[in-house]
Amino acid sequence: MTVDAMEKNLFGLSLNQLNDLMKELGFPSYRADQLFEWLHKKQIDTWEEMSNIPKKLKSTLQENGYQLMLPTLVSKHISTDGQTIKCLFSLYDGYTVETVLMNYARDNSRDRRTVCVSSQVGCAMGCPFCATGHQGFYRNLDVSEIVGQVILMNKLVRQKDPIEQVTNLVYMGMGEPLNNYNHVLASVRLLSDAHGLNIGLRRMTISTCGIVPKIYALAAEGLPVTLAVSLHTADNKKRDKLVPINEKYPLASLLKACRYYYEQTKRRITFEYALIAGENDQPSDIIDLQRLLKGLNCHVNIIPLNVVSHAPYKTSLEAERFVEQLKKYHVEAFIREEKGLEIDAACGQLKANEGEKHEYFLDE
Ligand code: SF4
């Protein structure tokens, strides 16, 4: 399957695109609705099972190169409490990505089943504490490959309970989502379509290490998705080292973009802060952070660093003190509930401790 053929993977087409396709091929538009329902509501990936689609349409689609293709499950790791599942999926060209499903039980509200999707094979951003960044960049994922990860995770949810489904989506897996902007945005629209999986836009979070022009672009989309910024320090010199894109888009420009995002969307910004011993966990770091975020409607997720084998960084033991101090400055902060640590499915760990390139390219 070539890249062109990927564009003919029906799982990556929106309902509007399917409508246009039906028109082009000479079929009535209600066939687009039926196809969309098979693909995204019933999540069927074989022609045979699409019982109300006429043979003529199926054969016309196939003759024109259209395919039904989901990633292939290579391996599945389940945490001992059964609440986190990490899957390794193989793509059409042999590259692989990881996707994580996290179940959060809540006493007073509906349980959440959150999928953390990958948007790229590898990542070009080179954050030194991150396993994905360490591996380098291979390619962007197509829309159908991003959507496919969610569909396959949703199938796992339904295997356990047929009336349940994925409720939340975070673009925090492998890759920098805003560097694959068009495909990520297309997947957001597709996965939130009421005729399909219907995941609420307010239940979606797009993470970025700080691609400033794309934050402005996202703000202009008029979508109420949450923006999560991997901040990790409020000091430019330290950030140049921890998040190298900071050299191009330093903190002042990043925060200006975040303030703009909030003004446009009224969505509270999340700042991710991986706490690293001796690097960004000192009292001066708290002072810098509260100064930087002053007046912005946001909260800070303190993430105890997940140690990966290639990096010299160590987990800070200061998380609770850090949160308490930030609260004194009226900065809302939480220690993020970490899921999947034992199966290397936690933040920054995707690809961690494996270190082998075959995880990216199966046929090598
Ligand atoms: S932390 Fe995010 S942006 Fe940085 S290298 Fe890892 S995946 Fe890329």
> Which DSSP string corresponds to 72-134?
EEEEEEE-TTS-EEEEEEE-TTSBEEEEEEEEE--SSS--EEEEE---EEE-SS--TT-HHHH
Confidence of residue 352 (pLDDT cuts 50, 70, 90): very low
Q: With contact defined as beta carbons under 8 Å apart, do 303 and 273 qualify?
A: yes
What is the structure's pLDDT at 358? Answer: 39
What is the structure's pLDDT at 21? Answer: 97
What is the structure's pLDDT at 105? Answer: 72
Decide if 296 is inside a domain.
yes
* Domain identity same for 16 and 80: no
User: Which residues are catalytically annotated?
Assistant: 98, 347
Helix (H, G, I), strand (E, B) or coil at 34: helix
* Domain identity same for 10 and 106: no
What is the structure's pLDDT at 351? Answer: 62
What is the structure's pLDDT at 364? Answer: 35
Integer Cα distance of 157 and 164 in angstroms: 7
Which residue range is the domain that position 49 belongs to?
3-63
Residue that is last in its domain, among 63, 98, 115: 63
Per-residue pLDDT, averaged over 346-357, amounts to 51
Tens-digit pLDDT profile for residues 104-113: 776 455 689 9
Integer Cα distance of 282 and 189 in angstroms: 41
* Domain identity same for 9 and 89: no
CATH number, residue 58: 1.10.150.530
Tens-digit pLDDT profile for residues 28-55: 999 999 999 999 999 999 999 999 999 9
* Domain identity same for 36 and 84: no
Give distance in angstroms: CA of 177 to centre of ligand 1: 10
Give distance in angstroms: CA of 24 to centre of ligand 1: 41
- Percent of the chain whose predicted confidence (pLDDT) is above 90: 79
**Lowest-confidence range among 184-188, 294-298, 343-347?**
343-347
> Which DSSP string corresponds to 183-252?
HHHHHHHHHH-TTTT---GGGEEEEES--HHHHHHHHTTT--PEEEEE---S-HHHHHHHSGGGGTS-HH
Decide if 140 is inside a domain.
yes
Q: Kindly report the average pLDDT of the chain as a whole number.
A: 91
* Domain identity same for 195 and 306: yes
What is the structure's pLDDT at 214? Answer: 98
* Domain identity same for 148 and 12: no
Number of domain units in the chain = 2
* Domain identity same for 130 and 183: yes
CATH number, residue 346: 3.20.20.70
What is the structure's pLDDT at 339? Answer: 67
User: What number of CA atoms fall less than 13 Å from residue 175's CA on the CB side?
Assistant: 29
* Domain identity same for 18 and 158: no
Residue that is last in its domain, among 63, 81, 105: 63
* Domain identity same for 213 and 230: yes
* Domain identity same for 23 and 98: no
> Which structure tokens are listed for 250?
């330093």
What is the structure's pLDDT at 271? Answer: 97
Tens-digit pLDDT profile for residues 205-258: 999 999 999 999 999 999 999 999 999 999 999 999 999 999 999 999 999 999
Decide if 336 is inside a domain.
yes
Give distance in angstroms: CA of 244 to centre of ligand 1: 10
* Domain identity same for 93 and 36: no
* Domain identity same for 84 and 135: yes
**Probe ligand 1: pick from 121, 172, 176, 271, max atoms within 8 Å of CB?**
176
Decide if 331 is inside a domain.
yes
Q: Which residues surround ligand 1 with Cβ inside 6 Å?
A: 123, 125-127, 130, 132-133, 175-176, 209, 230, 348
Decide if 364 is inside a domain.
no
Given a cut of 80, is residue 85 above it in pLDDT? yes
pTM for the full predicted model: 0.93
Residue that is last in its domain, among 63, 84, 104: 63
